[in-house]
């Protein structure tokens, strides 16, 4: 299921990319009512207390950085980024090797952006930022969600000391 939210003044300017016989040729088939209801419930849940949830996520990111301060890492995440996302580089290490070791402990991280999971090679964004190769090579992305706790942070950070 997907949704596109647009301002009313530009809604009439959107040209459908997939046309069909439904809704005056704007849709290709019958609505998936169950998926629509599920998406609506998920959006309501995700939005509920969002400001407090974001503060919680920021505290998890800060705790992670504090607890990993003894390791040679470089934080690459801008201050105004998504509240629960942390991009760090383990300088001199391979991000894929770090990812594999964490996976053995049941911890999932990413070595690339979410939109480039099938692409190999360095991030074009990090290249444009002027991040040196030795730093780019050790990058992992840690993404927290509302249900993560400080225990999850402790488990992640313990993986680098055990």
From 12, 19, 82, 115, active-site residue: 115
> Could you confirm whether 115 is annotated as catalytic?
yes
Closest CA to 155 of 104, 114, 95: 104
Can you state the angle between helices 50-67 and 150-158, rounded to 10 degrees? 20
DSSP string, 129-141: TT--HHHHTTEEE
CA–CA gap between residue 82 and residue 99 (Å, rounded): 21
CA–CA gap between residue 123 and residue 10 (Å, rounded): 33
**Residues catalogued as catalytic:** 115
């Amino acid at each position: 299921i997907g949704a596109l939210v647009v301002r009313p003044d530009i809604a009439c300017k959107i040209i459908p990319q997939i046309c069909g016989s439904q809704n005056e040729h704007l849709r290709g088939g019958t609505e998936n009512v169950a998926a629509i209801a599920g998406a609506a419930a998920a959006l309501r849940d995700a939005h509920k207390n969002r400001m407090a949830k974001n503060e919680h996520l920021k505290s998890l990111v800060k705790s992670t950085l504090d607890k990993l301060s003894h390791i040679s890492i470089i934080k690459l995440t801008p201050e105004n980024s998504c509240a629960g996302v942390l991009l760090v580089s383990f300088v001199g290490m391979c991000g894929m090797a770090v990812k594999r070791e964490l996976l053995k402990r049941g911890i999932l991280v990413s070595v690339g952006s979410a939109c480039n999971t099938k692409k190999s090679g360095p991030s074009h964004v990090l290249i444009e930022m002027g991040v040196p190769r030795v730093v780019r090579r050790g990058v992992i992305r840690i993404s927290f969600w509302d249900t993560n706790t400080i225990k999850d942070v402790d488990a992640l950070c313990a993986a680098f000391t055990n």
